A and B are shown apart, each in its own frame.
Chain A
């Protein structure tokens, strides 16, 4: 060997920061949410956190949150969808026709509606993924086309009322199967709701614990025990506080159960499935993903199919909530969903974002809406504040990125 004089391929130095560090960019959104809640709780003398109001916030924002889940995936993939508001209106109208006019049983009608939403997504996904037209253009066209189809379907009038099951999916609450239990000064609360909340918290703690143990087993850096415990306790306290308030009011809203399931499922899908990871890689670097054998077109196509199906779900819930499918349903919902995704930490270039972030972003806007209307602020001021919050959130994101 004659390598003595050559630059030795030195082994990498031990990773410098084997210490756990908190990611400001990702945790900033949760801190901001907490601050906004505290701010409005104070401004409204606690009215924000009253049992009925918490229930209202969830029910009133459920459809935007559902849209935000689909939208964050679209945005991570480096695209945008401007058509979801019109899709909400059209699918709501389809659902009304199927149930009210055709009299189909509600599960069949809902299934067909979701399918039609998926078809709408597929139609747009085809032009975007396989034909190569920018999503901005395709969905801008879709926004007009689907609104027009809504008007055609409804004949410029509302269709209703919906079957009770669909209405309760949007507006209803879980039943008090096990009766109430006394909580001292807080009064009576529904036992099933409390147990469900407890089960959620315990499940969360267990899964986090197992994940941490597995990571430790592989010799990875994990958060220190105090931080870990603090995180579990924090989530537990917040979830239980919300659940207790709901249990004191009218039990858990069905949409909350649905939302929790969607949030959980889609979080797992985005972070841990091959499909989800392909979305991130496409948004991160399209060419690199293509040359790595990612089926870029197929993944993009299915992301839009998924968006369409979720928009249809939001359409059913929105129509059920109003008990009527109307021609102006879903107006500007796309903007709320897009804003939720960006407030929640998505990047305009794609490749970045989290489902939970988008939901938090949606809740931030929901709390601002609700809190400001409680203190009697006029709607133009609500709009102003929401616009500034969106700008501030993205400015913060850009700022932290530049510092990194």
Chain B
């Protein structure tokens, strides 16, 4: 047997005139962790879909050799039978069903058509032990956090006797602890002889865990490099086709007086009203300042932001929001917008955009009254506004009427930002503004954030990526278990220091 478990040669895949993959080659050695890097739209996911049979044989050109044998998969069941399992970015679990039921979904442990529950739960327990998940197999998946759900997905793959595991952005939604656990698990699986292919935007993880890195750009294989000693900058230069000395645009802060003060803010969980999610938090924002809010997943960052913005989250909320020295009423979203607040949510598809409408109708959505006269919308003015934002923010779309669901992540994020810029806010809260966005588009988003601050607005950035907060913010608050545990200025801020604050509180 050869050392190469998988060889893909000359893969070309076209969609209705657009070439998504052009003569792509990929060679994966047995027992390695192989990372695939590239900007959004570079063709990573398409390549994996070709491999797993989502795009069946015959819809692409080129050869796939798995274990030395040519493959012609007709669907995902075909590839799974050969031991190739793909775990998608959006987890494919049924939340109402138990962990054990999910593990054997479509592959049930049954006897004469009836489920054998003893065997199901017994084997599920063994699989959970293997991935280090200490949960009861009968627990509904909905009761688990995202990190644990990801482990359930991996356990599900193991139940199919996987030899090649493909993970599409496995840690995108995980906090650092869960990410670490997942990466350790992949490490362990490698020792058991399972080969993994991971697609990841988090280059720090890639350099830490991968043995080999393949870089794709514009649907072509750019290079395959051994990961040992590889720097993030080196990968990025391959991804963007140019050196990226500066991941953050330069900026000279011009910080004025205090604009917004959130005082003694306390929020309780709507599911368990006796549980405190945000605990007596106080923070201030100043004109022209970019302030970061750091915290592990579950620390209450989004909950803090959404509860301030029109009480969109939480019950039993107490505290004061003071703007320019006067307490303001932010109990409704309309009230918050009227007082110059804007909130860009972490999930732009779910909470930010009307995906079936174009840029035009999305940009106007939060301030339609500005375009209306006695309740009637001036669509021509609306068009002009949309065109203005399309040009000034570089939103790449065929037309302002093209549904935003067809745009790339970076462009969608620009549309959401444009929507809130049109409300002309004094304070913007940006929740994970660059999640799932490629490196080039991130830079553009950072530039937009800098511009917002330069216009004298205050910006609060919530981010899971500490380097992003360090590169962008003038000041960073750390949140742990709902409490503000630290405040660090740009000069004093280091990842280690922030992490200390972010993990503080458990003991005290």
Contact status of A17 and B399, CB under 8 A, knowing A214-B380, A351-B354: yes
**CB-based contact A273/B377 at 8 Å:** yes
A352 contacts partner chain B, Cβ-Cβ < 8 Å: yes
Contact status of A274 and B372, CB under 8 A, knowing A9-B447, A280-B361, A287-B351: yes
Contact status of A3 and B439, CB under 8 A, knowing A15-B398, A218-B384, A291-B333: no
A225 contacts partner chain B, Cβ-Cβ < 8 Å: no
In whole angstroms, what is the CA distance A347 to B357 when docked?
A: 13
Q: Which residues of A contact B312 (CB under 8 A)?
A: 290-291
**CB-based contact B337/A293 at 8 Å:** yes
**CB-based contact A3/B390 at 8 Å:** no
A11 contacts partner chain B, Cβ-Cβ < 8 Å: yes
Q: Which residues of A contact B419 (CB under 8 A)?
A: 292
In whole angstroms, what is the CA distance A3 to B242 when docked?
A: 12
A277 contacts partner chain B, Cβ-Cβ < 8 Å: yes
A288 contacts partner chain B, Cβ-Cβ < 8 Å: yes
A272 contacts partner chain B, Cβ-Cβ < 8 Å: yes
Contact status of A9 and B399, CB under 8 A, knowing A285-B354, A290-B333, A351-B354: no
* B338 smallest CB distance to A (angstroms): 8
Residues of A206-227 contacting chain B, CB below 8 A: 214-215, 217-221
Contact status of A10 and B380, CB under 8 A, knowing A2-B250, A5-B244: no
Q: Which of the residues B365, B397, B398 comes within 8 Å of A292, measured between beta carbons? A: B365
In whole angstroms, what is the CA distance A215 to B360 when docked?
A: 14
In whole angstroms, what is the CA distance A16 to B332 when docked?
A: 40
Q: Which of the residues A7, A9, A291 comes within 8 Å of B439, measured between beta carbons? A: A7
Residue of A nearest to B443 (CB): A7
A-B residue pair count with CB separations less than 8 angstroms: 130
* B471 smallest CB distance to A (angstroms): 12
A231 contacts partner chain B, Cβ-Cβ < 8 Å: no
**CB-based contact B377/A277 at 8 Å:** yes
* A5 smallest CB distance to B (angstroms): 5
Residue of B nearest to A296 (CB): B333
Q: Which residues of A contact B361 (CB under 8 A)?
A: 277, 280-281
Q: Which of the residues B355, B403, B440 comes within 8 Å of A7, measured between beta carbons? A: B440
Most buried by A among B244, B336, B345, B368: B368
Q: Which of the residues A1, A12, A274, A288 comes within 8 Å of B369, measured between beta carbons? A: A274
B176 contacts partner chain A, Cβ-Cβ < 8 Å: no
In whole angstroms, what is the CA distance A274 to B244 when docked?
A: 45
**CB-based contact B245/A9 at 8 Å:** no
**CB-based contact A284/B354 at 8 Å:** yes
**CB-based contact A12/B394 at 8 Å:** yes
In whole angstroms, what is the CA distance A273 to B391 when docked?
A: 27
B309 contacts partner chain A, Cβ-Cβ < 8 Å: yes
Q: Which of the residues A1, A215, A221, A280 comes within 8 Å of B357, measured between beta carbons? A: A280
Residue of B nearest to A351 (CB): B356
Residues of B341-382 contacting chain A, CB below 8 A: 343, 345, 350-357, 361, 365-366, 368-369, 372, 375-377, 379-381
A13 contacts partner chain B, Cβ-Cβ < 8 Å: yes
Interface residue tally of chain B, by bracket? 35 or more
In whole angstroms, what is the CA distance A11 to B396 when docked?
A: 8
Q: Which residues of A contact B372 (CB under 8 A)?
A: 273-274
In whole angstroms, what is the CA distance A292 to B362 when docked?
A: 10
Most buried by B among A9, A273, A281, A295: A9
In whole angstroms, what is the CA distance A295 to B312 when docked?
A: 13
Residues of A268-287 contacting chain B, CB below 8 A: 272-275, 277-278, 280-281, 284-285, 287
* A9 smallest CB distance to B (angstroms): 4
Q: Which residues of A contact B375 (CB under 8 A)?
A: 273-275
In whole angstroms, what is the CA distance A285 to B361 when docked?
A: 12
Q: Which residues of B contact A291 (CB under 8 A)?
A: 309-310, 312, 333, 343, 345, 351-352
**CB-based contact A285/B355 at 8 Å:** yes
Q: Which residues of B contact A115 (CB under 8 A)?
A: none
Q: Which residues of A contact B400 (CB under 8 A)?
A: 15
**CB-based contact A12/B391 at 8 Å:** yes
In whole angstroms, what is the CA distance A273 to B333 when docked?
A: 21
* A295 smallest CB distance to B (angstroms): 7
Q: Which residues of A contact B193 (CB under 8 A)?
A: none
**CB-based contact B243/A5 at 8 Å:** yes
**CB-based contact A278/B443 at 8 Å:** no
Contact status of A217 and B380, CB under 8 A, knowing A15-B399, A287-B351: yes
**CB-based contact A288/B365 at 8 Å:** yes
* A309 smallest CB distance to B (angstroms): 18
Residue of B nearest to A285 (CB): B354
Q: Which residues of A contact B353 (CB under 8 A)?
A: 285, 288
B87 contacts partner chain A, Cβ-Cβ < 8 Å: no
In whole angstroms, what is the CA distance A352 to B396 when docked?
A: 24
B334 contacts partner chain A, Cβ-Cβ < 8 Å: yes
Apart from A15-B400, A285-B354, A291-B351: 6 A-B pairs, beta carbons within 8 A: A273-B377, A290-B333, A291-B352, A293-B332, A294-B365, A347-B356
A-B contact pairs, 17 of them (CB 8 A): A1-B250, A2-B250, A5-B246, A6-B443, A10-B394, A15-B399, A215-B380, A218-B383, A220-B380, A220-B383, A221-B399, A273-B372, A273-B375, A273-B376, A284-B355, A290-B333, A291-B351
CB within 8 Å of A: which residues of B? Answer: 240, 242-246, 249-250, 309-310, 312, 332-334, 336-337, 343, 345, 350-357, 361, 365-366, 368-369, 372, 375-377, 379-381, 383-384, 387, 390-391, 394-400, 403, 406, 419, 439-440, 443-444, 447
List 8 A-B pairs, minimum CB-CB distance, nearest first. A284-B354, A292-B366, A7-B440, A9-B444, A218-B380, A293-B334, A293-B333, A292-B365
